[in-house]
């Protein structure tokens, strides 16, 4: 049905750079840290925080050892990213079903970083969206804002503007799904130990033929050993 699960890492309009911690056991969602400081994405006029619900499709991996045939760059070593454009502001950690509409190929510091555009299947308008052209027609300016956001979001940190493959053009649904399927094959090789994941922690409960598969008891002990969550740090004034 071309419907995929999405793990929400960053709810729309928020700034904390939360992401699936691929190097930690069971891959919890944690705030990114750069140079010892918690990482926040700055507001870049006219945008406020992230302009969609942002997250990832589990069981995908952008292999840093694989050169993408379309972009000429290797993968960024993470699950494939999703921008969910529905009307609901999701919660961090929520798992939602999304309909894939298209994709944008960001080149982030020389790495291929696909951004899949999708909509929550439970969105009241989901039936009206079937391909990337529907987003352009029904949400005018949203795709242009998405390119602008990804181009400039690191500039406040002193970095240059990001680049895109295909001149920043969005590819359609079929293209996006082929990319997802390709990254799913890379993930299967990763959890089967047929590809070198480096520091990625592949401990899992559900892939029974994976050498990294662990028991429910082992997973429970891992979760219980983690330090308790504390109150969120305030967003830095700058």
pLDDT at residue number 2: 84
For residue range 196-221, list pLDDT tens digits in order.
999 999 999 999 999 999 999 999 99
By the 10 Å C-beta count (0-12 exposed, 13-18 middle, 19+ buried), 53 is classed as: buried
pLDDT at residue number 185: 98
| C-alpha distances in Å from residue 94, one per residue of 60, 90, 114, 214 | 18, 7, 21, 23
**CA-angle at 33, arms to 83 and 195, nearest 5°:** 70
Cα separation, 51 vs 232, in Å, equals 21
pLDDT band of residue 236 (cuts 50, 70, 90) is confident
Range of the domain at 18: 3-225
For residue range 136-182, list pLDDT tens digits in order.
999 999 999 999 999 999 999 899 999 999 999 999 999 999 999 99
In a domain, 78, yes or no: yes
In a domain, 237, yes or no: no
Count, residues in the chain: 238
For residue range 86-101, list pLDDT tens digits in order.
999 999 999 999 999 9
In a domain, 231, yes or no: no
170-207: burial string, b at 16+ Cβ within 10 Å, e else: bbebebbbebbebbbebbbebbeeebebeebebbbeee
In a domain, 82, yes or no: yes
What value does the mean pLDDT of the chain take? Answer: 95
Q: Which of 72, 78, 81, 61 is nearest to 195 (CA)?
A: 61
Instruction: Answer yes or no: is pLDDT of 109 > 90.
Output: no
Cα separation, 53 vs 79, in Å, equals 16
pLDDT at residue number 230: 85
How many domains is the chain built from? Answer: 1
Percent of the chain with pLDDT over 70: 100
Taking a C-beta distance cutoff of 8 angstroms, is the pair 146, 12 a contact? no
Instruction: Answer yes or no: is pLDDT of 238 > 90.
Output: no
In a domain, 181, yes or no: yes
- The pTM score is 0.95
Which sign does the torsion angle of CA 161, 166, 167, 173 carry?
Answer: negative
Q: Report the CATH number that the domain containing residue 144 is assigned in CATH.
A: 3.90.80.10
In a domain, 67, yes or no: yes
By the 10 Å C-beta count (0-12 exposed, 13-18 middle, 19+ buried), 229 is classed as: exposed
DSSP assignment string, 139-187: STTHHHHHHHHHHHTTGGGTPPPPEEGGGGPPB-HHHHHHHHHHHHHHH
In a domain, 232, yes or no: no
In a domain, 233, yes or no: no
Number of CB atoms found within 10 A of residue 134's CB: 16
pLDDT band of residue 1 (cuts 50, 70, 90) is confident
Instruction: Answer yes or no: is pLDDT of 234 > 90.
Output: no
């Amino acid at each position: 049905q071309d419907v995929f699960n999405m793990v929400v890492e960053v709810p729309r309009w928020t700034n904390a750079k939360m992401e699936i911690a691929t190097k930690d056991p069971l891959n919890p969602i944690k705030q990114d840290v750069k140079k010892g400081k918690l990482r926040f994405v700055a507001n870049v006029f006219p945008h406020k925080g992230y302009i969609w619900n942002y997250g990832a499709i589990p069981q995908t991996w952008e292999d840093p050892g694989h050169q993408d045939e379309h972009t000429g760059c290797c993968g960024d070593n993470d699950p494939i990213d999703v921008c969910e454009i529905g009307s609901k502001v999701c919660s961090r950690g929520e798992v939602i079903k999304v309909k894939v509409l298209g994709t944008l190929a960001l080149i982030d510091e020389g790495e291929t970083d696909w951004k899949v555009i999708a909509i929550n299947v439970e969105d009241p308008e989901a039936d009206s969206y079937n391909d990337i052209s529907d987003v352009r027609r029904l949400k005018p300016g949203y795709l242009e804002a998405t390119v602008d956001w990804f181009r400039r979001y690191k500039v406040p940190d002193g970095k240059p503007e990001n680049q895109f493959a295909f001149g920043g053009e969005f590819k359609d649904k079929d293209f996006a799904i082929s990319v997802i399927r390709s990254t799913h094959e890379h993930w299967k090789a990763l959890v089967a130990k047929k590809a070198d994941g480096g520091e990625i922690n592949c401990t899992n409960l559900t892939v029974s033929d994976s050498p990294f598969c662990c028991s429910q008891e082992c997973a429970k002990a891992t979760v219980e050993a983690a330090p308790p969550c504390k109150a969120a740090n305030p967003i830095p004034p700058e």
